[in-house]
A and B are shown apart, each in its own frame.
Chain A
Amino acid sequence: MIEIRTADMAKIGLVLELSSEFGLNVGIGSECCVHKLPSPGEVAEIASQVDDLAVVTPITPQKHYDRVLDFIRGLPHGVRLVVNDVGVLYSLERDGMLDGFSAVVAGRGIVHTSEACPWVDHLLRDESEEVKDAFLQTNLNYSRTLGFFRDMGVTALETDLELRTVEAALRTGLPVAGHAEFIAVSYARSCHTARFFGEVPPACRERCNGPMELELVDMFDLSGSPPGFAQPSPEMLGIFPKLYLLGATIFMKKDVHDVQGMERVIINGDMYDPANLRGVVMAFDEGMG
């Protein structure tokens, strides 16, 4: 099963078209930015057109806390709710607001994997195999953490489509959705895209409908006096990937297409040129058999 996701309502026509053509599920909303949430009217309209709609809610600073809870309270019955903020999840569960969703999914703001670190194998280089195995899991593989989130109503999880991560995530027994190709390396509150364009959120909200690519040129060397820019070593360049910035989220790309055992694959439509999106969907559609 494939879910195609966007936070850009200008793309929703294309997303719905692909959904109809390939039988895809649809996701809307944002993991990290409240300003990229659709309006209640947009949610209702899209929900009326698809069988399985996922609505993604972001990491939520206090400033936006009541707004996000109000947004969730207003969601149509039967949508799949993806939560990326533990405080929001707690409030929903405590106040009995999780009934009526087809699934309550812990998103990547909650589910962490060491494989999202570009140089995880370097960090683990000297550790024992047992320690490596322990770290190369998701945080929900720790039974107490899994119990903690199950008790808060979580019925499924999302994580990055990385081989060792997915293999581990499947061991939780929860249905697993994997984010294809773009691994979430980091989320920010101080929006890097807004700052780059010299705009103040939410005025910047149309600036992140597609990613920017970032190639490391100068490292910031802490050993200098004073610390400052320096040439990265060949070793650093060897482990430092090209990064992709979409709004306040930093990604790296991984070419993993093994989707065995997963409930669904999530394709973030905002990471691709709309002209290529059909091809991306077709490639995963073939992989899903």
Chain B
Amino acid sequence: MGSQKKMNLMAPAESTATAVNVIEAGADEIYLGLETPGLVNLNLSGRGRSCNAKDQAELVDIVTYAHDRGVLVDYTVNTPFMADTLEEMYIEHVMRGVDAGVDALIVGEFGALALVQEMDLGIPIHASVLLNNFNRGQLEMLKGMGVAKVVLPFKITIDEIRQLSGLGIELELFGQFGCSNINGTCHLIHNADESISLGLPCRANYRVSEDGRLHNILDAGTDCSLCSIGDLMDAGVSALKVVGRCMNPEMIRTIIQTYRNAIDMVLDGAVPGEIKAWVLEEIPFWMMLCDQDRCKYLKTPINDSYI
């Protein structure tokens, strides 16, 4: 504990209002996408319609607001799927962000990565969680492709993070919320502007044939890393990211304020017990996460089930 390293707090945004919200709450970086002309419900920013800045003018406003406050803007061009017939649309999508002055591109497909590299845009490229950046080989490959930072998978251990640090590529990690399955291989797609409410399929209850039990068998969701912030800093994580494009603005503001305070507490020498005591005192609903053992980096039944 007691790391001297800096860890950026990275927050989701999808509009000027949400960007202002999370920046006021203490984010060091924001990430967001942009609506894609030519697509109706889908989007090349890796989310469905309405989870993104509506047009380039709004993106410019957000970038200006963020930069005026020393906050970085990462632009998601992380569609997990590309095609030759989408390439021109993708290039235009990337350039709208670049022209708006974003600070980095988050890319989620290998061919798209090769394309963006070839475009030689002069801004850092980050490898999305959708690329399943699990191991040393992959990080070495991405470094060779000019990638500056990787977003690590939702399911990874601190020991593994330690092993992956020091490879000359920055590590970014989801600290709050995230998927039960391996993100880049999961086709239980939701939040893609479906008109049928699917909720979270991985957290649903299923009747299991094995014994007829009703069971949330696919629920491996881990939600919180507050008690591990110091260890993550020590392991070499340079940015801690919160899931939540399209989440309730009040909720996301509270979460960002909580992580802002927790990171600052760690930098001031606080230990995990102090952070937990503080959050349970200040944010009573956090107890729900503690009660459910949804810690991302502590010993829990979910983390014990890692292959």
Contact = CB atoms under 8 A, between A and B. Distances in A.
B304 to A, nearest CB: 5
A116 B208 contact: no
A60 B192 contact: no
B41 A125 contact: yes
A257 interface: no
Nearest to B49: A126
Interface of B: 38-42, 80-87, 109-112, 114-115, 131-141, 153, 155-157, 159-160, 163-164, 180-182, 184-189, 192-210, 214-220, 285, 288, 301-307
Interface stretch (A1-9, A19-27, A193-201, A266-274): A193-201
A89 B131 CA distance: 14
Given A201-B306, A216-B206, 7 more contacts: A87-B139, A87-B141, A185-B187, A195-B302, A212-B217, A221-B197, A236-B197
Nearest to A224: B199
A60 B133 CA distance: 10
Q: Is the interface of B mostly helix, strand, loop or mixed?
A: loop
A230 B114 contact: no
B42 A135 contact: yes
A214 B206 contact: yes
A62 B142 CA distance: 15
30 contacts: A59-B182, A61-B135, A61-B306, A62-B163, A63-B159, A65-B135, A65-B136, A85-B138, A86-B132, A116-B187, A119-B189, A119-B198, A126-B41, A128-B38, A144-B82, A144-B115, A145-B114, A186-B188, A188-B182, A189-B181, A191-B306, A192-B217, A194-B305, A201-B306, A214-B207, A217-B207, A218-B214, A245-B218, A248-B307, A250-B218
Interface of A: 32-35, 59-65, 85-91, 94, 108-109, 112, 114, 116-120, 122-128, 130-131, 133-135, 137, 139, 141-149, 184-192, 194-196, 198, 200-201, 212-223, 226-227, 229-230, 232-233, 235-236, 239-240, 243, 245, 248, 250
A134 B88 CA distance: 13
A215 B42 CA distance: 28
A229 to B, nearest CB: 6
B304 A200 contact: yes
B292 to A, nearest CB: 12
Contact of B137 (A90, A142, A143): A90
Given A134-B83, A185-B188, A243 B196 contact: no
A204 B202 CA distance: 21
Contact of A221 (B42, B84, B199, B209): B199
Contacts of B207: 214-215, 217
Nearest to B190: A222
B187 A142 contact: no
Contacts of B80: 112, 139
